[in-house]
Amino acid sequence: MVETVAPSQAARRHRRIRSGGATGLSASSGIGLGVAVIWFSVLALIPLIAVLVETSTGGWSAFWATLTDVQTAAAIRLTITQALLVTGVNVVMGTLIAWVLVRDHFFGKRALEVIIDIPFALPTIVAGLVLLSLYGPRSPVGVNVANTRAAVFMAFLFVTLPFVVRTVQPVLAELDRDVEEAAASLGASRPVIFRRVILPALFPAICAGAALSFARAISEYGSLVLLSGNLPLRTEVTSVRILTYLENGNTASAAAVATVLLGVSLLVIVALDLVQRRVARRG
Amino acid sequence: MGEPVAAPGRSRSRRRGPLTYVFRLLVITYLVLLVAWPVSLVAKETFANGLESLRTTLSDPSVTFALKLTVIIAVQAVVINTVFGVGMSLLLVRYRFPGRRLLSALIDLPLSVSPVVVGLALVLVYGGRGGWFGPTLEDHGFQVIFATPGMVMATAFVSLPLVIRELVPVLEEVGTDQEQAAKSLGANAVQTFRRITLPAIKWALVYGVVLSLARSLGEFGAVKIVSGNFEGQTQTATLSVEQKYQDFQQATAYATSFLLASVSVACIVVVSLLRPRTEEKR
């Protein structure tokens, strides 16, 4: 008995010292962590690593050849350009929507709250169909963006709507209005208050929202299937390119393009983590 | 303190300037044009001929099969994510261990990975031909890709962080005082969880589960790759929408979309009704 208990206690004490926290892992939570990490690895980590390994088997030259392929390069360029444009629109409109939701009070505000979350919950294929019915060939308002680059823009704009709004809104709601009032009583005009008092406080949240909406836009697939027509060199986005490679049995090229998208996702996560830590440090 | 009498700035900031109305109008117009109007058109298209289009859709065996399969897969994925999410959130908040920060950052990865990449990644590992583990698993009679397990995995992957993201902030806020009190009074781990922790995180958990459900029912890209999209075998509702639309059965596509959209809007409404209550409770 003694022999079996003593080493486990020693190990536990050792672990506690290493982690430096007040609550180290107990035996049962250690098993729980093990199971959780195994499931997470089986589901997400090993498959994602497989993408990187598949890319690396072709070597650097194959990777570069795939990315500089005319059709693939056009797809990546289109995706990034439209994603940047949409992120720009979201930064302005998202902040404005958050502002109206927090500071304005009017009948039907609850309905707007629901509308903002719809793009997050709506199946992407339905999102595409939905946009097609208002801005497609049978448009009741006579605007037809189907199979054009504007369709890619519209689809990105739709699916990324909630991100900036939902990251800025809580920060704006917590903002201390005394500071604004102090600035106003000292003679600052409203634009000056916005630029000098409100904007600096919202900046990390706006950045976080922008990063999320950029990441979401470059990885979008479902809403474009029916809307953009996926015309090579014109409206084909990166995700569609990966799928085409995969359907043609060219997994190495599919993995190469996927690696680029994964790299961007990782960058976004790192950036978000840094922003969150900065905010946490400021209290 | 009292109301400062000679502070014109204060009264100005309280009064609604014309800008308030401009902003309000701008935001409402933007949201109506981008979301509300298009979404409402799906309902209009569906009920253009009364209930006719819904009736023909629901009597189409490939659609009913797809809807059933979608529900089965979504429920499995949500159950897995709920169990994993509660466990993982407790571990991330309550314990300190090496690699905790890395794990907590990686958990968010699925939210920003393209569904197509998710599908590709799963095929590379579990694919029957040339996958890392796929051939071995299939030799033991367990097919993942082009079958239900792969579709559940793809769905679970894309909605993985939703429960955790809801629970972690609430768990951090609740703290451990009550749990420690319960333990010191002799409660075991299960009792502490059921009587102390669970009531505190109840609404956040419901919120996370509802969001996961909405996301799972609507998954398209990852499932398309992993399932092989065989009608009547591995075709889910979202895949069926695409096929029906491209086969010029637009009425069916709109009716199926309407059903999917109603569920996701219902989820959002439930969540927005629950949210103020959670905030009051804190």
Most confidently predicted of A74-78, A105-109, A138-142, A263-267: A74-78
Retrieve residue B237's tokens: 């509702």
Q: In chain A, what residues touch B37 (CB-CB under 8 Å)?
A: 134
Residues A245 and A277 in one domain: yes
- Tell me the CATH number at B125: 1.10.3720.10
B177 vs A34: which has the higher pLDDT? A34
Residues A238 and A181 in one domain: yes
Residue B12 has a pLDDT of 42
Q: Is the dihedral of CA A132, A136, A138, A140 positive or negative?
A: positive
Q: In chain A, what residues touch B28 (CB-CB under 8 Å)?
A: 112
pLDDT tens, residue by residue, A227-237: 888 888 889 99
Residue A10, pLDDT above cutoff 50: no
Residues A98 and A141 in one domain: yes
Residues A164 and A244 in one domain: yes
Residues A142 and A236 in one domain: yes
Residue B10, pLDDT above cutoff 70: no
Q: Judge whether B69 and B258 are in contact, CB under 8 Å.
A: no
Indicate the number of domains in chain B.
1
Residue B88 has a pLDDT of 92
- DSSP H stretches of helix in B140-197: 148-158, 160-174, 177-184, 189-192
pLDDT tens, residue by residue, A40-70: 999 999 999 999 999 988 888 889 988 889 9
Residues A172 and A44 in one domain: no
Q: In chain A, what residues touch B113 (CB-CB under 8 Å)?
A: 48, 219, 261-262, 265
Range of the domain at A53: 27-57
pLDDT tens, residue by residue, A183-238: 888 988 888 888 888 888 898 889 889 988 999 999 999 999 888 888 888 899 99
A271 within some domain: yes
B127: closest chain A residue by CA: A47
A11 within some domain: no
Residue A16 has a pLDDT of 41
Interface contact A184-B254, CB threshold 8 A: no
pLDDT tens, residue by residue, B84-120: 999 999 899 888 888 888 888 888 888 888 999 999 9
B135 vs B69: which has the higher pLDDT? B69
B113 within some domain: yes
Residues A39 and A78 in one domain: no
Residue A178 has a pLDDT of 86
Computed over every residue of chain B, the mean pLDDT equals 86
Compute the distance between CA of residue A132 and CA of residue A113 in angstroms, rounded to an integer: 24
**Mean local confidence (pLDDT), B164-179:** 86
Interface contact B125-A46, CB threshold 8 A: yes
Distances B11 to A30, B3, B5, B6, B16 between C-alpha atoms, Å:
58, 10, 10, 10, 10
A143 within some domain: yes
pLDDT tens, residue by residue, A124-170: 999 999 999 899 888 888 888 888 999 999 999 999 999 999 999 98
- Does A93 lie at the interface with B, CB-CB under 8 angstroms? yes
Residues A185 and A45 in one domain: no
Instruction: Quickly state the pLDDT bin for B8 (edges 50, 70, 90).
Output: very low
- Tell me the CATH number at A143: 1.10.3720.10
B180 within some domain: yes
From A36's Cα to the closest Cα of chain B, the distance in A is 7
> Which of B149, B97, B224, B210 has its CA nearest to residue A42?
B149
Q: Is the dihedral of CA A124, A145, B26, A79 positive or negative?
A: positive
Residue B78 has a pLDDT of 96
**Mean local confidence (pLDDT), B32-38:** 93
First to last CA, chain B: 28
B48 within some domain: no
Range of the domain at B148: 68-281
Q: Judge whether A167 and A209 are in contact, CB under 8 Å.
A: yes
Residues A41 and A114 in one domain: no
Instruction: Quickly state the pLDDT bin for B16 (edges 50, 70, 90).
Output: low
B129 within some domain: yes
Q: Judge whether A177 and A106 are in contact, CB under 8 Å.
A: no
Indicate the number of domains in chain A.
2
A183 within some domain: yes
Angle at B69 between CA B65 and CA B70, to 5 degrees: 115
Q: In chain A, what residues touch B153 (CB-CB under 8 Å)?
A: 43
pLDDT tens, residue by residue, B118-145: 999 999 999 877 788 888 888 888 888 8
Residues A164 and A209 in one domain: yes
Residues A97 and A41 in one domain: no
Per-window interface: A 190-229 vs B, CB < 8 A: 190, 193, 212, 215-216, 218-222, 225-226
Say which residues have a Cβ less than 8 Å from residue B242's Cβ, sequence separation at least 6. Answer: A125, A225, A226, B220, B224, B253
Q: Read off φ and ψ for residue B233, nearest 5 degrees.
A: -125, -55
From A164's Cα to the closest Cα of chain B, the distance in A is 14
Q: In chain B, what residues touch A161 (CB-CB under 8 Å)?
A: 34-35
Q: What proportion of chain B, given as a percentage, has pLDDT over 70? A: 92
Instruction: Quickly state the pLDDT bin for B228 (edges 50, 70, 90).
Output: confident
- Does A181 lie at the interface with B, CB-CB under 8 angstroms? yes
- Does B153 lie at the interface with A, CB-CB under 8 angstroms? yes
Interface contact B124-A47, CB threshold 8 A: yes
Per-window interface: B 159-178 vs A, CB < 8 A: 160, 176
Residue B120 has a pLDDT of 93
Distances A215 to A33, A218, A236, B163 between C-alpha atoms, Å:
29, 6, 17, 20
A220: closest chain B residue by CA: B114
A129 within some domain: yes
Q: Which of B91, B120, B156 has its CB closest to that of A246?
A: B120
Q: In chain A, what residues touch B90 (CB-CB under 8 Å)?
A: 29, 32
- Does A73 lie at the interface with B, CB-CB under 8 angstroms? no
Q: Which of A39, A183, A239 has its CB closest to that of B116?
A: A239
Residues A147 and A215 in one domain: yes
